[in-house]
Structure 1
Amino acid sequence: MFGVSTYCLHREPLARALENLASITDCVEVMDDGLHYLESAEPLESYSYRYFIHAPARGVNIASLLEPIRRASVEVLTQTFAVAAEVGADVVIHPGYYAWREEQDRAAERFRQSLTELTAAAEDRSVTFFVENMGNWEYFFLRSCEDLPLIDGIGFALDVGHANLNGCLDEFLAHPAAHYHLHDNDGTGDTHSPVGDGTIDFSAVMEAVRRDRATPIVEVDTLTGVISSISALEAIDAAAPGE
């Protein structure tokens, strides 16, 4: 069964999004931003989904050289861990960014410091978290495999659409991932298009998902696109050798 991100219904209230996904999947990743921001676990407790939570990303920068911003960003993610603990959810986070190329090394130090603090917070709450690779947004960490050593010992969430934008999907697929975000694009924009509407080879992607025994989350921008993506992915799985 493929999981689904509430991103496809981010313009709807969270309760309505969860209702609409019930006939499609039993695994949901809540995009903890905008209308789906989680102040508590209460909105999730009425449903029997297996949950993942994509932690808030807007305004959050765990690599910031401005210490009040870095500390506040860690606190925001720690609050997400507290909500996740109540529903047994794993959490996906973004790696942060730097403002100037000359600050990259110092920002990497702050990123590592934040990961150390977040690891302790997650362990205190018995929560697992993964760090996601970024799209073609300048100055973000984890756009390529070169940055994977920065998250050594922490789970990796492979966003295949982001990797495709940076022209390094094949390289990322060679590395184990604990979690996958599945959406398509043509390599020029982060469109979160349905599977098959872009240039990604999802046969190779699904081979890696099976190898890693990871959770695949469909992160497409419309509900119709989610449904067509699941059909396409199921057909790819059915045609795989040995399946």
Structure 2
Amino acid sequence: MQVDVGVASYPDLSLSELFQQSKNLNVDFIEIVMEGEYHRAKLANRVSECDRLMGDEISLIVHLPFGGLDVGSPFHHVRSGAVQELKKNIELASDLGAEKAVFHADTFVHPEIWDKETILDSLCESVQELDSFARRHDVELGIENVPSPFITVGDFPLLFDETTINATLDTGHSRVNQISHETVSRLLETHGDRFTHFHLNDTRGASDDHLPVGMGTTDFASLFRSLPNEWNGSMTVEAITTDFEYMAAGVERLREILQAI
């Protein structure tokens, strides 16, 4: 198993501080969330700065924007607008030299009105269009499970059957959806080749705590053991903190777990 380890950005950290602190942690990549200060209109003017800050020491993954973008909407024009915005972000991700881009599998329509099958059909259409577009721009796209009444990580096998998309497993989101540890482990055993990226969001229960690895109750070691022996991918320590001492503890604990497998 070969794993690249990285950390996620948050808007209240400057780009230079984010890169410097991340390099101090000796991580392989930074995952920049393209929202707020890092949304594409601002980030497009900072391509050369990002390239300089990355140097040869660190690579880049991006998290495409999610606020207000409804890629699973049953309304064609709403869905089309979300897809077009994400395509613009994928183009920028390519310009930035990002290796991967993550986006949310979600819709904002009311579950008491719309049936799941309709939403999954709409989502599959968006997913395949975006994945084909990203491949043409040499960006590996990954669809992330989110806390949703429509689509959970348990529905990903259908997406794998219907599209060419790879996936990002958010461990905290799967717990919010109350997907059992055993179910997630079986998914990794049977579809591990399609899960190429992880958001390691530790929690103490069915909540989106975003704690550093080792500060919650998620059994990461057994999840990782469910992956194929030859698995290669990336893992982001997705802790919501600007205190890099906590981030460092999560990165160190993750490396300990991986070394022990």
TM class, shorter-length: 0.7 to 0.9
Distance change >3 Å, CA 28–CA 96, structure 1 → 2 = same
1:230 aligns with 2:236: no
Residue in structure 2 matched with residue 129 of structure 1 by the alignment? 141
Residue in structure 1 matched with residue 208 of structure 2 by the alignment? 190
Contact 1:131 1:155 in 2 (8 A): yes
1:162 aligns with 2:173: yes
| Alignment counterpart, residue 236 of structure 2, candidates 198, 214, 217 | 217
The range that moved more, 21-30 or 50-59, is 21-30
- RMSD (Å) for aligned C-alpha atoms: 2.1
1:35-57: CA deviation from partner (whole Å, max 9, x where unpaired): 22233234421223211111001
1:29-81: CA deviation from partner (whole Å, max 9, x where unpaired): 11111122233234421223211111001111111123332111101111121
1:34 aligns with 2:40: no
State the TM-score, normalized to the length of structure 2.
0.81
Q: CA–CA distance in 1 between the matches of 2:99 and 2:260?
A: 31
Contact 2:170 2:198 in 1 (8 A): yes
Structure 2 gaps of 5+ residues are none
| Alignment counterpart, residue 66 of structure 1, candidates 65, 71, 75 | 75
In the TM superposition, residue 147 of structure 1 has moved relative to its aligned partner by: 4.2
In the TM superposition, residue 224 of structure 1 has moved relative to its aligned partner by: 2.6
1:133-161: CA deviation from partner (whole Å, max 9, x where unpaired): 113x434x2x2413431243210111111
1:203 aligns with 2:221: yes
Distance change >3 Å, CA 132–CA 4, structure 1 → 2 = same
> SS of 1:84's equivalent?
helix
Residue in structure 2 matched with residue 6 of structure 1 by the alignment? 9
Q: CA–CA distance in 2 between the matches of 1:75 and 1:133?
A: 21
Contact 1:158 1:180 in 2 (8 A): yes
Distance change >3 Å, CA 62–CA 11, structure 1 → 2 = same
1:34-183 superposed matches below 5 A: 34-39=36-41, 40=44, 41-46=47-52, 47-48=54-55, 49-86=58-95, 87-101=97-111, 102-103=113-114, 104-135=116-147, 137-139=148-150, 141=151, 143-152=152-161, 153-168=164-179, 169-174=181-186, 175=188, 176=192, 177-183=195-201
Q: CA–CA distance in 1 between the matches of 2:34 and 2:185?
A: 26
In the TM superposition, residue 123 of structure 1 has moved relative to its aligned partner by: 2.8
Q: CA–CA distance in 1 between the matches of 2:155 and 2:79?
A: 23
Segments of 4+ moved more than 3 angstroms: 208-211
In the TM superposition, residue 193 of structure 1 has moved relative to its aligned partner by: 0.7
State the TM-score, normalized to the length of structure 1.
0.87
In the TM superposition, residue 209 of structure 1 has moved relative to its aligned partner by: 5.6
Q: CA–CA distance in 1 between the matches of 2:185 and 2:62?
A: 23
In the TM superposition, residue 116 of structure 1 has moved relative to its aligned partner by: 2.5
Distance change >3 Å, CA 90–CA 144, structure 1 → 2 = closer
Distance change >3 Å, CA 206–CA 120, structure 1 → 2 = closer
The range that moved more, 104-113 or 87-96, is 104-113
Q: CA–CA distance in 2 between the matches of 1:166 and 1:107?
A: 17
